[in-house]
Amino acid sequence: MNADRKIKVGFIPLADAASLFVAVDKGFAAAEGLDIELVREVSWSNVRDRLAIGHYDAAHLLAPMAIASTLGLSHVRAPVIAAMNLAMNGNAITISPDLHASLVAAADGDLGDPLISARALKAVVASRQKRNAEPLTFGMTFPFSTHNYQLRYWMAEGGVDPDSDVQLVVLPPPYMVENLAKGHVDGFCVGAPWNAVAEGMGIGVILHPGPAIFHPAPEKTLAFRRQVADSEPQLVEALIRACLKAGDYIRARANREEVAALLARPDRVGSDIDSLRRALDGRLLGNAETTNYLIFGDYESGRPDASQAAWLYAQMRRWGQADRSEEALRTAQGVFTPAFFNAATRLAPVEAAPIVAFSGPVCDAGNIEGYLNSFAIRSAP
């Protein structure tokens, strides 16, 4: 790799891009011989498209989008490598105060239990259908996203069909709060800090942190076009090392105020410092910390694993986004290759933890059809 290699990296204004910000602003990238220009984008489709055509060398990308891009699902096929898990978890489901009051009235138990809240949602939906009211509308960031899958999984476990009983709409993360405030949506699933922002403004109630739905969820990846990764592996490895050092810096509590201030900059996330600090600390529900709310990729969680890709592919199959295909499954698993991460860290591989939901079976990559057949509500044939 040439000294001071200049690269352009696209990102969406979210707290889970912090490793990239810190890698640049604290000099970890420069120490690896990288000169990085970070470009703030408004939508995931922009990031995907500009990565695909070479405007970006790398990107902060939705983990499922890396698979979808490689498989050519709903878009031109553009092979991508998910070289590192930049972040695991980090989302939350937030609803309007009115919907929250309706769920409280319908709940048979503790609303903090996702199964109880999902069943309460089913009762609210049935009541609205009976009186011919407009269906509830929920925002999510992109069809190929864990946000979409978290909303769908939660709803379906309570008996709500996300394709017929409610409306799901795509909104860029920074616009979620405004749409909730104007009544355009009744709730949303989005990454930090926008849930805390809505709650801080008094227009939203955080119902469930993402890990309460399933954990550990592969959320954002450090994505490279396959052509770049294959031709410049040292570049990929250098950026992985810089992000790992940045993750260590972010995890140190003594640095949290500084990191929150860095994220608050208008050219980064551009949110208020208090909401960002809450996200970094995992303080979503009241002042209590949510365990594993937002995990920045480290030497274990940062390693991409084929089982994570298989799980994401299974969600795409469940909701009719991908056809049944052993070849597609193998291709998806190849997107989450650990080769670059292993070369960058020179550590012995650690087996990834299985992704476990609050209800339902654990996905077996060797029997995805059996896993899918266990669900009463699904879009796939």
pLDDT (tens digit per residue) in 68-84: 999 999 888 999 999 99
* Shared-domain flag, residues 224 and 337: yes
CA distances from 285 to 67, 78, 213 (A): 32, 39, 15
- The secondary structure of residue 302, as a DSSP letter, is T
**98 inside domain:** yes
* Shared-domain flag, residues 243 and 313: yes
Taking residues 99-123, what's their average pLDDT?
Answer: 98
pLDDT of residue 185: 98
**341 inside domain:** yes
Domain boundary among 184, 214, 244: 214
Q: Let me know: does 111 contact 117? Beta carbons within 8 Å.
A: yes
pLDDT of residue 1: 60
* Shared-domain flag, residues 260 and 282: yes
pLDDT of residue 357: 97
> DSSP per residue over 20-83, as a string?
HHHHHHTSHHHHTTEEEEEEE-S-HHHHHHHHHTTS-SEEEEEHHHHHHHHHTTTS----EEEE
Q: Is the pLDDT of residue 3 over 70?
A: no
Characterize the bridge pairing of strands 137-140 and 80-89: unpaired
* Shared-domain flag, residues 45 and 61: yes
Domain boundary among 214, 234, 261: 214
CATH number of the domain bearing residue 145: 3.40.190.10
Q: Look up the domain containing 140 and give its range.
A: 91-214
CA distances from 361 to 163, 209, 368 (A): 22, 20, 11
Distance CA 82, CA 86 (A): 10
Domain boundary among 186, 214, 242: 214
Q: Which amino acid is at 134?
A: E
Q: List, for residues 130-146, the tens digit of each pLDDT value.
A: 999 999 999 999 999 99
Q: Give the helix, strand, coil percentages of the chain, each rounded to 5.
A: 45, 20, 35
Taking residues 37-48, what's their average pLDDT?
Answer: 96
Taking residues 202-224, what's their average pLDDT?
Answer: 97
| Domains identified in the chain, total number | 2
Q: List, for residues 247-279, the tens digit of each pLDDT value.
A: 999 999 999 999 999 999 999 999 999 999 999
Q: List, for residues 173-200, the tens digit of each pLDDT value.
A: 999 999 999 999 999 999 999 999 999 9
Q: Is the pLDDT of residue 380 over 90?
A: no
* Shared-domain flag, residues 281 and 159: no
Distance CA 48, CA 223 (A): 10
Please name the residue that has the structure tokens 């970070």. Answer: 38
* Shared-domain flag, residues 153 and 228: no
**186 inside domain:** yes
**22 inside domain:** yes
Q: Is the pLDDT of residue 163 over 80?
A: yes
* Shared-domain flag, residues 301 and 153: no
User: The whole model's pTM is what?
Assistant: 0.96
**247 inside domain:** yes
* Shared-domain flag, residues 78 and 112: no
The rounded Cα 81 to chain-centroid distance in angstroms is 17
* Shared-domain flag, residues 28 and 103: no
**378 inside domain:** no
Q: List, for residues 23-34, the tens digit of each pLDDT value.
A: 999 999 999 999
Q: Which residues are CB-contacts of 47 (< 8 A; sequence separation ≥ 6)?
A: 10, 11, 12, 41, 56, 59, 60, 61
pLDDT of residue 5: 78
* Pure H helices in 89-144: 97-106, 114-130
**45 inside domain:** yes
pLDDT of residue 350: 83
Distance CA 326, CA 302 (A): 26
Q: List, for residues 315-355, the tens digit of each pLDDT value.
A: 999 999 999 999 999 999 999 999 999 999 998 888 899 99
* Shared-domain flag, residues 341 and 266: yes
* Shared-domain flag, residues 153 and 240: no
pLDDT of residue 2: 60
* Shared-domain flag, residues 222 and 353: yes
Q: How confident is the model at residue 381 (pLDDT cuts 50, 70, 90)?
A: low
**376 inside domain:** no
Q: Is the pLDDT of residue 114 over 80?
A: yes
Q: Is the pLDDT of residue 286 over 90?
A: no
